[in-house]
Every structure is written in structure tokens, then in C-alpha cells.
Structure 1
């Protein structure tokens, strides 16, 4: 019998810059997840308002939208490693502010929203820069597997982060934020170890055409636009992350540890799926697989909305994470494989807007809807909307449904 561990050993995992990149991304993801779960819990504990939980998501999304065109230019013109270091320093400073506010007793609604705005600004530069950097670290034909492996590591951190943060919170929120600060410093060290040819290759002057080049590139490829926009609207309406504190306290009647498990559950499903995709990449019927996975994502969301038992809710959230991971790998592979290196920053910035809108803006939408109708009806409507969106997208983007393979441009 072949050793599965030996079979998984590939040039991708032996690549030192790729390993440092994965360690950096793992540390930053774990730190972000720990911070978000505690920030959300503190906000709901202070205000008891689903609307304010939505504002936390909105505060993190607004910078990405406002800085979209600038971020893409920066990522294509400057050393992407230095950009990452700057983003991580901002996250470190935000953690220090949250520590001081918690210990000093002045951490309130406005301070939390200000901290969320700072995190959103750092993430606005960090996400597209990371997306643009990864293809420069691995062979082109190994990119789909590298994306799956990097996603597996990120999902591991997403699993561990909320759970660890929830348990550390028993000893105090300041200890959670202190742990996040240490992880940010570790991530900076990993970035400094990455060695690769300078990736900022854009040479044309900054013009309106170059500013909007990323948007034009995506618009000209209908299968890419369809994949990105499908992921946007599915998670925008179907996501329930912002309302997990409400479900944990008022529906499932659990505490911070239960909230941590709920936040980790989608990542457990995503991790298992990403490990499977790293071993068995999607090769045929790519578009149909993506559309089917988003449909199942919506159905799993409906199960979560109707559940009043913690174990069933955890299982439903695991399925949402697994099906969403299929969509993520297909979308990222289509974008990265068809984008020239000199445009990856701008294209990744536009892609990050779609991702941010689906996550942070989705949290705001969930908070507003829950404030008007209640948490359970809000998630029910989201699940139904996701299934209907898939039906509509089959008609609007037939090229997506007809996409057979991840074609390298």
C-alpha cells in the first residue's frame, strides 16, 4: 500500500517561499478570526443590537470599496512583501488599542467600530496583495493545488482561531487581543523570510485606463465575472456569520465557547473539502460543479436557520463551509490562471471587493434584516435567495455553466 503522506509530497510543499507564505497567512487568519469573534461578542454584550453587529461588518467593508482602485495600483507597483508588512503592523496596533480599551474600561461601541475600520483598511491592502503574491511563488501549473493547500492551512487557522479565542476569553478579552498581537509579529517575520523576484512590474503611467484595467479585464471574461458575482450574491444573502452571536445566545442558549465552535464549524467543512481538492483537483464540468455547490450551500443555510440544536447547527455550518470552498477554489483558479502577473494586483483588488462585499457587506445586510424581521427569518430568506440566484445565474452567464476546465491563458 502506498504511503498517503509520501504521495502528498509535491514540489509545491517543498517550496520554501510558499511555506513561509502559508505560515504568514495562517497566523494572520488565526489572529483575525480570534479578534473578530471577541469583538463581535463584546459588541453584542454591550449593545444587544443585531444592527450594531451589522455595522461592524460594514466598517470593515467600506475601506475596501473606497480604496479599491488605489490598492490595485499599489500592489502592482511596489514590493508586495513590504505592503504585507505594513498591513500587519496596522493589525498589531489595533490589537494594542483593544487591549488598552479593555483594561482601561473605555472600550465601547464607537471604539469597536473605529477598530473595525482600521482592520478593514489593513485588510483592503492585504487581501489583494496576498492573492497577487502567491502565483509568483509556485510554478504556474501547480497553482490550483497550491491554492487548495493554502486554503487548507487558512481553514485550519479559521477553525482554531474562534475556538481558541472563545476559550481564552474566559481569562479576559485582553489576553485574546494580546495573543493576536503576538501572531501579527510572527507573521511579519515570515514575510521577511520570503525571497522571490520583485513582483511589481507595472510600468505604464497611472491613467484612467490603468486604474480601471482590473474591472475591464474581469468584465471581458464572462465566465470569470459569473463565478465572482455568483460567489458575491450567494454569500451576501446566504451568510449568517454576523448573526452567530444572536443564535448562540438566544436560539441555541450557549456562551462564548459555543460561539467559538459555531464560528469554527464552516472552516471545518472547508478544511476537509480543501484537503480533498488538493488531492483531487476539479478537472471536468467546472462550471456545473460550482453552480451545484452554491445550491447546496443555500440548502445547508436553510437547515441552520431552522435548527434549535447545537450539534445540528454545527453540522449545517460545516456543510456551508465545504460547499463554499468548492466555489472559492474554482473562482480563485479562474482569476489567477487567466490574469497576467503585471495586472494581478488590480484584478485581485476588484476580486477582493466582491469577496469583501459578500462577507462584510453581507454581515451588514444580515444585521439590518435581523433587526427588522428577527435572526431566524433573516437567515431563512438568505438561504432561499441563494438557491434562486443560482437559477438566475444559469441564464445570465451560460458560459460559466459551460466551462469544462480551468484553462491556463
Structure 2
């Protein structure tokens, strides 16, 4: 499921920023649009509490796959700002529900002592799907129209729906069939409960910073590549190759975290990304910078599977439906803040200044995690 969903989303990754820019016209307005759309993601993550209380996860997964396929298909007809806003908002909300649902499925099946390794495997399959989707999307964009890619992406989501619909063994697993519940917690109360645990707060800050880098990578790197005179095929090539380190390393990183702790890989991961972004800022050679973007993924692989590992070790299963949605707000918060920061930078400074600012953010996070995760040197308790 993770592979199929990531493949469908990945098909759009090389083209969506430039598709949005074709309607919004400038990098500045594109940044503002992405920031506004992140509000929808934030609403989706917080309201997921109600959704998961009222519906079984299996029903949410089926609904999410088929409706997201419809939304992808409707992108074919988008040509105006209002149409773009409505469709992207619906797309964003459905993707949030599916990501949360699949994340909870992983926790349901995983054992606590192997949680890091299981998270690594989950991200491995997710990244394989993203690799296939992004590479295919970039290649197809040079041969066919954006509309053709939207239809292919919709077809992939339909395959995901069919696969899950017929996955009887998975759907009948006792951990998955949770009875629909009707009571709901207040959002503010859930937020207070979540952040009352300092380890969950650390997991949130790590996830927020990781998503800041992911947002930067998938929003500004495609714009940078195209503005440097290259086609979407180069976007797809760079973004897809950058996933390869994640596929090969994240399971091993999870295994290492289960045995040795999360402090070193997380801090080192942020350090690698920060240094590479700083190098790109000073480098005048676009093709060399594309290679550096790929190399930054070695840092990403050290971080990506471990924020949820830290979270789930401090999140009782009976609190998952209430509190996991709070953790997932790290994604939309990052996608809200980063385009706003980007828009402010672009208003006053040249495009490449973005790399210097985000390099600073990553280096600060490297120092913060090295200090704050000191007790996690030997084990992720």
C-alpha cells in the first residue's frame, strides 16, 4: 500500500510545482499558494481524530484511494485559480488521511523491540514507490502532456484501491479491525496531552524539521532545475535518484537505532543536509548542485524513519487514534511555514539565498538533536 500510494504521489512530484506556477505565474505566488494549501493539510491532520473515531481504518483506506484517484483525474480539467485551489485542497486532505492510516497499520503489526526496523522497512517500500513514480513522471513529462500524467497517476491509485479491497488477510487482521467509535476528543486537549511528554515533543520537532527539508526539496528544487534551463525530465531524474540512498539505508538505520540509539544518526543526518545545502549556495555550477541534492539524501536516510520510532516508543496504543493526528500536523505546519519563509526570501533576495537559509536551519537542528537526544545514545527507550 505504501509503495502504491507513494508511486501515485511521486508521478506528480516532478511536474506539480511547475503546473501550479503555470497558473500562478511567479515563484513568489507559487510559494504563497503552497503555504495556503498546507492549512488544508493541518485541518486534515487535526480532524483525523474525528474520522478515526467514527470509521474503521479499512474503510478510510478504501475511500481515500478511490477518491484520490478521482481528484487526480480531475486535475486534467484545471486551468483557473479557483479550480486549482479546490482540487489541490481535496488532494491534500485525502493524502493526509491515507498517510496517517498506513502509518497506523505499520504500528499495529510492528513489535516494540523491532519498531525501528519495521519503520525502516515501511519507508523503504514507500521510497521504492516514490522512486518509480518520480522517475516515470519526469520522463513522461518530456514525451506527453501534464494531463496524461494525471490520468496515469489516477490509474495507479485505482490499483491501490483494488489491491487493498482484495487484501482479505490484511483487512481481517485483529489489529486492523478496530470498532468504529463515536466519542471525540477536543483538539486542544489532544495537543496538550501530546506535548505533555517531552519525548513526543522531541519527535515532533525532528519530524517538523525533516519535513521542512522535504518541502524545500520537492518545492524549490524542481523550480531551481527548470529555472536553470533544464526540462522536467531532469527534475524527475534528480529527485528519483535522490531516493536510492533511502531505499538501501533506512532499514539498516532502523536496525542500528534499535541497538545503538537514535542520537548519532539523526544529528549526523541534519549535519549532512546542512553542509550540502551550504555548498550548493556557494557553487555556481547547476549540474554539480544537482549531484549535491542527490548526496543530501544520505542525510535524509539517517533521519526519516527515526522520528516515528521515537514517537511510538512513547505513545501507548490506546492513545494512537487521538494523538497520532497531532504528530502528523508536523507535515502541514512545515508545508505552511517553509513556503512563507521562501516567499519572504524571494521577495528580498535572489533564489539561491534559499539554500543558505535552510542550510542554517539544518545545522541548528543537528546541534539541537545532538544535545537533546543525549539519553538516547545507547537505546531508544
TM range (shorter): 0.7 to 0.9
Does residue 339 of structure 2 align to residue 383 of structure 1? no
Deviation at 1:245, TM superposition (A): 3.1
- Is the counterpart of residue 178 in structure 1 residue 156 in structure 2? no
Query: Cα–Cα, structure 1 residues 317 and 142, in superposed 2: closer, same or farther, change >3 Å?
Result: same
| Corresponding residue of 1:294 | 270
Matches within 5 A, 1:6-405: 24-101=1-78, 107-169=79-141, 170-192=143-165, 193=167, 194-195=170-171, 196-197=173-174, 198-200=176-178, 205-208=183-186, 211-212=187-188, 214-233=190-209, 235-236=211-212, 239-251=216-228, 253-277=229-253, 280-359=256-335, 361-392=337-368, 398=372, 400-405=373-378
Whole-angstrom CA distance in 2 between matches of 1:125 and 1:403: 31
**Alpha-carbon contact 1:249-1:255 (below 8 Å) kept:** yes
CA-to-partner distance for each residue in 1:24-60, whole Å, 9 max, x for gaps? 2111111112123322122234444112322342244
Q: For the structure 1 residues 235 and 137, does the alpha-carbon distance in structure 2 shift closer, same or farther, using more than 3 Å as the test?
A: closer
1:186-225 deviation line (CA, Å, top 9, x unaligned): 11122221322244368684343xx445423432322331
**Which stretch shifts more, 219-228 or 39-48?**
39-48
CA distance in 1, matches of 2:256, 2:22: 44
Q: Is the 8 A contact 1:76 1:199 kept in 2?
A: no
Residue pair 2:23, 2:81 contacting (<8 A) in 1 also: yes
| Contact persistence 1:302–1:380 (CA under 8 A) | yes
RMSD of the alignment, in Å? 2.7
Distance 1:213 1:403, change over 3 A: farther
Cα offset, 1:175, TM superposition? 1.4
Q: Secondary structure at the match of 1:339?
A: coil
Residues in 1 aligned to 2:46 and 2:299: alpha-carbon distance in whole angstroms: 31
**Distance of 1:111 and 1:180 partners within structure 2:** 19
C-alpha contact (below 8 Å) 1:269/1:320 kept by paired residues: no
C-alpha contact (below 8 Å) 1:231/1:358 kept by paired residues: no
Question: Which of 358-367 and 261-270 deviates more?
Answer: 358-367
Following the alignment from structure 2 to structure 1, what is the Cα–Cα distance between the partners of residues 343 and 240? 20
Quote the Cα distance in structure 1 between the aligned partners of 2:144 and 2:45.
Answer: 39
Structure 1 unmatched runs, 5+: 1-23, 102-106
Gaps of 5+ in 2: none
